[in-house]
Chains A and B, each alone.
Chain A
Amino acid sequence: MVEVTPLLVKAAWVTIDISVRAIVFGFLVASALVFFRSVKFTPVRWFSRAYVSVVRGTPYFVQLLLIFYGGPTIGLDLDPFTCGVVVGAFNIGAYMSEAIRGAIESVDKGQSEASRSLGLGRLATMVNVVLPQAAGLMIRSIGVLAIVLIKNSSLVSIISVVELTYQAQRLIGSTYKPLEIFAVSALMYIVIIYAVMGIVELAYRRTTRFNAL
């Protein structure tokens, strides 16, 4: 137990590293997708919808294998870690764009009408009136997706990124102590996930301070 823990801790940092990068880049992907949905040029809107539908409709695991093994065919030769970040970002981006849109649409239409009637433009209305009110719901939905992504990051072990699940599997194979290894690595996932939940809750409270309750 004592000798395997440092290895698992080190691997857990890789899990955190790959997840944080994927979430940050995923947010950029999601923002682009949301923006594409509001563009006047129809094919762009159509692309955004099709992208979200296909990514959500296919397994993350198959997406990972497609880009890692099939990538070189289309000139995309990525190392395992980068591949994990890129596929993670483009995967969570699709889900996140829906979460962002849902949060924006949850804000009462009267709010933007009132803002527009004051003379504020579309962008100013979005930034000053709609987004601040959508932020709370947005943060909570993104938090849920982030937790799914952290659990999904275990799949990059298949393309031999030495993250938590990869290390756990290797140690189970070499020490034949599945219960101990499982307990320690499960605990690490739980700690990571609860940390994310805590951060999300703090952020949620900061963004919804104007609420009465």
Chain B
Amino acid sequence: MTFDFSPVLTYLPTLIQGIGITLLIGVIVALFSVAGGLLVAVISIYTNKVISWPLRAFIWLFMTTPLLLQLYFLYFGLGELILIPAIVVGILGLGFHYMAYNADIFIATIRSVSDGQYEASRSLGFGHGATLFNIILPQALIRAVPQLGNNLILMVKDTSVLSAIGVAELVYASQYAISVSFRPFEFFIVIALIYYAINILMELGQAWLERQTAFRR
């Protein structure tokens, strides 16, 4: 049992490039899934059954099936219709998956804002839309911070799954180096530590954000 971490150093630029793609995907999916989740939640709460029912079904389906199965479906399903790069499929797949989870949270937090808040805003003369925008949604967002943070932390870890459809993020980027150097253990240990570092930073960020918003609840 001897360890040799020198190939990891040799391929450090490849790994760093992989980290870059992982973080890029993470940021895009975070924005996409939070904004989309909020939109889906608002539409599914404030519209009629014809629109809200399919949205609820969408949320439910994405929450009860594995991410990888959804990715395969998108990759081979969409791939049959049009030629799109794996990274786009990956971002869409991961984005829709977490959009569903985030929408589920937003639906709960929007509903948790009391009717009194709505009435108080309307009694000042604000319309329905202005009340939603200025009063209900800011509060729903603040209340969603802890769970949303958890989801985003899970999401960044799940970017590793995108390697299964050939997205060149951290895990996939190391595949070549691993097959050449034949040092899988050392590489995967380093990869795991990189994710661990990202994870710790995100948890610190989440704790900070929770402190910033706690007294506004």
Tell me, yes or no, whether A and B come into direct contact in the complex with CB atoms closer than 8 A: yes
A190-B65 in contact given A66-B192, A179-B77 (Cβ < 8 Å): yes
Q: Mark B66-77, 1 if CB is under 8 A from A, else 0.
A: 111100110011
Q: Is the CB of B68 within 8 A of A75?
A: no
Number of interface residues of B (CB under 8 A): 37
Q: Is the CB of B188 within 8 A of A62?
A: yes
Q: Mark A45-78, 1 if CB is under 8 A from B, else 0.
A: 0000000001011111111011001110111000
Chain A contact residues: helix, strand, loop or mixed: helix
Q: Tell me how far the C-beta of B159 lies from the nearest C-beta in chain A, rounded to whole angstroms.
A: 8
A61-B76 in contact given A70-B185, A73-B185 (Cβ < 8 Å): no
Q: Does B109 contact A (CB under 8 A)?
A: no
Given the complex, which residues of B lie within 8 Å of A186, measured CB to CB?
Answer: 61, 64-65, 69
Q: Does B51 contact A (CB under 8 A)?
A: no
Measured in the bound complex, the distance between the Cα atoms of B147 and A27 in whole Å is 25
Given the complex, which residues of B lie within 8 Å of A151, measured CB to CB?
Answer: 65-67
Q: Is the CB of A59 within 8 A of B1?
A: no
Q: Which 3 residue pairs across A and B have the least CB separation, nearest first?
A: A70-B185, A66-B188, A154-B66
Chain A contacts to B: CB under 8 angstroms: 54, 56-63, 65-66, 69-71, 73-75, 151-155, 157-158, 164-165, 168-169, 172-173, 176, 178-179, 182, 185-186, 189-190, 193
Question: Could you list 15 further interchain pairs (A-B, Cβ under 8 angstroms) beyond the known A61-B158, A153-B66, A178-B73?
Answer: A62-B191, A65-B188, A70-B189, A73-B183, A73-B184, A74-B185, A152-B66, A155-B66, A165-B69, A168-B72, A169-B76, A172-B73, A178-B72, A185-B69, A193-B64
